[in-house]
Structures are given as C-alpha cells and as structure tokens.
Amino acid sequence: MSAPAAHFRLPCLSWRFASVWSRNFRVWRKLALPSLLGNLADPMIYLLGLGYGLGALVKTVDGVPYVHFLAAGMVCFSCMNTASFETLYSAFSRMHVQRTWEGLMNTPLALDDIVLAEMVWAASKAALSGTAILLVVTLFGFTSSALTLGVVPLIFLIGLTFAAMGLVVTALAPNYDFFMYYFTLFITPMALLSGVFFPLDQLPAALQIGAQMLPLAHAIAIARPLMLGELPTAVLPHLAVMAAYAAVGFWLAVSLTRRRLLK
C-alpha cells in the first residue's frame, strides 16, 4: 500500500485511548471551575439577553414563550461551541505547539488512539457544559418536562459530531488564525440557519433545504420537542445524520493527522 493510501485506511481503535482521555481530564481538573463558568457564560448571556429582550417583542414562537423556544437551541449551541473550541484551540496546542501528541506516540499508543481520545474528551466536555446549561434552564423554569432527560445522551452525540469536524480542521491548520475561517464561514452561519434563534420554516425554501444538511439543525429538531414536553418525530434519521458526520469526520481527522504527523 502506498503512503498516501495508507494514511486514509480505516482507523484502528483500541481501549488505549482511555489513558489519553484520563490525562486530559487530570489537566483540565486543575482549572475546572473557570472552564465551566466560561462555557456557561456565553450561552446564558444569549439566553437571558435575547430571551427576555427580544422575547418582550416576539412574545411567543410556535405557541410557546420565546425564551422557552430559545432554551433548546442554546443547549445545543453550547455543546457545539464547547466541542469546537476544545478540538481546535486546545487540541491544536497539544498537537502542534506543545507537541504532546509526539510524546504520546513514543509510548505504545498509536496516533489513532490519540485522535479518538481527543474526540471523546471534547465530547465529554461538551456533555458537561450542555448538562450544566440544561440544569440552569430547568431551574429558571424554561423547561419542566420529564422528557428533558432525553436530551442528556443527545448532547454527548452533539459533542462527538462537532469534535470530529473540529479535528479535521485542526489537522489542516497551519496556525491559530486559521480557525477563524471555520468559525466565520461554517459555525456562525450554522447557528443562524439551524433553528437556534427562530423556526426553520421562517427561512426561504432553498435555505430550509440547505439547513437539513447541517448537523446542528438535526440536534435541535430532537432537543426542542423534548424540552417542550413533546415527542420528536423522525428521531432515527436525525440521529443518523449526526452519527454520519461524526463517523466520517473522525475518519478524515485520523487520515489527515496521519498525513501531517506520520511522514
């Protein structure tokens, strides 16, 4: 097998990734409180600022108070941002600046294990952040349904999805400035087009079709009904889209990182 073809072979996974996950957790634990507060601040500002400010003008959306409508979008938005920042800035630092990954590869760990650990670690942080916001939203009374518990496993899948995509960008990035393209051209438009702030049916027909290709839209399509006390429809197709993004993104991330580091 030629070198380029070898880079793009299927990932070889093992439980050894857990040791890298544990290492990242122990480092993060030293700064856990400021990290959690930072992850909570941005979505809560959006939720309270827009929920009460814009909500005073909009009143209701789809028959529910605007702040209740916005709450589900903010939970998913927070998971996306947390996973993206972790796999971009933090993972890039470990890979390129600190060269932690190179040190780990001098042990029995394979590069595939390291990339998997980074993806699962970012998803774990996203799940923690999303669960914290879900708790705050519940305490504020923006959701009161027992179905809200169904959002907890969903936020981990959201984390995996955006962590995988973030690692693809990290594998290609020459420096930190490169990440602004990803946020400006992909993450921000996705937040605006996926139903975080307003219903998708308010978009032109062409944009509605485009929104159905975005993983965040499928996450919100499940989370919002659950948080409003309703059972979502077409759950399996929504989950399948997110799982496909996660699987393909992980394969690309591993392949591109091999090409970058295993020359």
Query: How does pLDDT run across 40-72, given as a tens digit for each residue?
Result: 777 777 777 777 776 667 778 888 888 889 888
Q: Is 147 exposed, middle or buried (0-12, 13-18, 19+ CB in 10 A)?
A: middle
**Residue 111, number of CB atoms within 10 A of its CB:** 19
Residues 28 and 35: beta-carbon distance below 8 Å: yes
pLDDT on residue 85: 94
Residues 114 and 198: beta-carbon distance below 8 Å: no
Residues 138 and 55: beta-carbon distance below 8 Å: no
- Residue showing tokens 């059972």: 231
Average pLDDT of the chain, as a whole number: 90
pLDDT on residue 226: 95
pTM, 2 dp: 0.92
pLDDT on residue 3: 61
Residue 227 has pLDDT above 80, yes or no: yes
pLDDT digits (tens, 9 = 90+) for 89-118: 999 999 999 999 999 999 889 999 999 999
| Six-digit token string for 135 | 């708790």
Q: Please give the helix or strand (H or E) that residue 111 lies within, else none.
A: helix 111-139
Q: Quickly state the pLDDT bin for 2 (edges 50, 70, 90).
A: low
Q: Which residues, at least 6 apart from 96, have a Cβ–Cβ distance to it below 8 Å?
A: 173
pLDDT on residue 55: 67
- Strands 64-65 and 60-61 come out as antiparallel
More confident residue, 233 or 47: 233
